Chain A
Amino acid sequence: GAVVSQHPSWVICKSGTSVKIECRSLDFQATTMFWYRQFPKQSLMLMATSNEGSKATYEQGVEKDKFLINHASLTLSTLTVTSAHPEDSSFYICSARPRYLGTGELFFGEGSRLTVL
């Protein structure tokens, strides 16, 4: 089946530093990847949609300069949290849509828990 891997699965950083999270589709090509943020005991909030080779589309209220998204290849998208602060602590989940499927099905990574001290 389609596998999406995120790295790191958890990270702790100091306030003011930047953190990069990778999302890889291991056995399929993904022209579109999505980044979600999930607060404790809440649903997933879509942050941005990333298309290979083009700029990401951010949802309303998400700071694009704060959350840098790069989708340089058909199997890799990265989310960089710049100048992280404690309020950025959250569970970040990516998902990828195989280019050969039109059903809307997404495959999700395991998530990355970010803790900013």
Chain B
Amino acid sequence: AQSVTQLGSHVSVSEGALVLLRCNYSSSVPPYLFWYVQYPNQGLQLLLKYTSAATLVKGINGFEAEFKKSETSFHLTKPSAHMSDAAEYFCAVSEGTGFQKLVFGTGTRLLVSP
């Protein structure tokens, strides 16, 4: 069965600093990986996805993530944090194609200080 581990329930950065949110996955088959963002009292918005194409994936709002099979990682980064990036971020894994369900990590809350 697949699983996702997000290291750090909270990450604090200053505005303009690098953002790094960690995600490690476990999957018995080549995974599809996703990062979602959730703002308070809202649903989830897809930031980016990895579906076995390029290992460096670029998403919305300046975020990107790199799939590293050898490290079973899919860390999310952004070169320069903005106050509006403060939110909850979830990493998720889906096995293969078809109607497989997503399994989410426990989430990381990103705090951005001025």
Interface of A toward B, CB cutoff 8 Å = 4, 6, 31-32, 34, 41-44, 46, 49, 51, 91, 93, 95, 97, 102-111, 113
Contacts and interface: CB of A to CB of B under 8 A. Distances in A.
A36 B34 CA distance: 17
B99 A97 contact: yes
Contacts of B45: 108
A103 B42 contact: no
Interface of B: 32, 34, 36, 41-46, 49, 51, 90, 94, 96-107, 109
Contact of A34 (B98, B101, B105, B106): B101
B105 A93 contact: no
Given A42-B106, A43-B90, A43-B107, A6 B97 contact: no
Contact of B43 (A42, A46, A108): A108
Contact of B102 (A41, A106, A111): A106
Given A103-B97, A111-B43, A43 B106 contact: yes
Contacts of A31: 99
A104 B32 contact: yes
27 contacts: A32-B99, A34-B101, A42-B106, A43-B106, A46-B102, A46-B103, A49-B101, A51-B99, A93-B43, A95-B44, A95-B102, A97-B99, A102-B98, A103-B32, A103-B49, A104-B32, A104-B94, A104-B97, A104-B102, A108-B36, A108-B43, A108-B44, A108-B45, A110-B42, A110-B43, A111-B42, A111-B43
A40 to B, nearest CB: 11
Nearest to B42: A110
Contacts of B96: 104
B43 A6 contact: yes
Nearest to A109: B43
Given A43-B105, A43-B107, A44-B90, A105 B43 contact: no
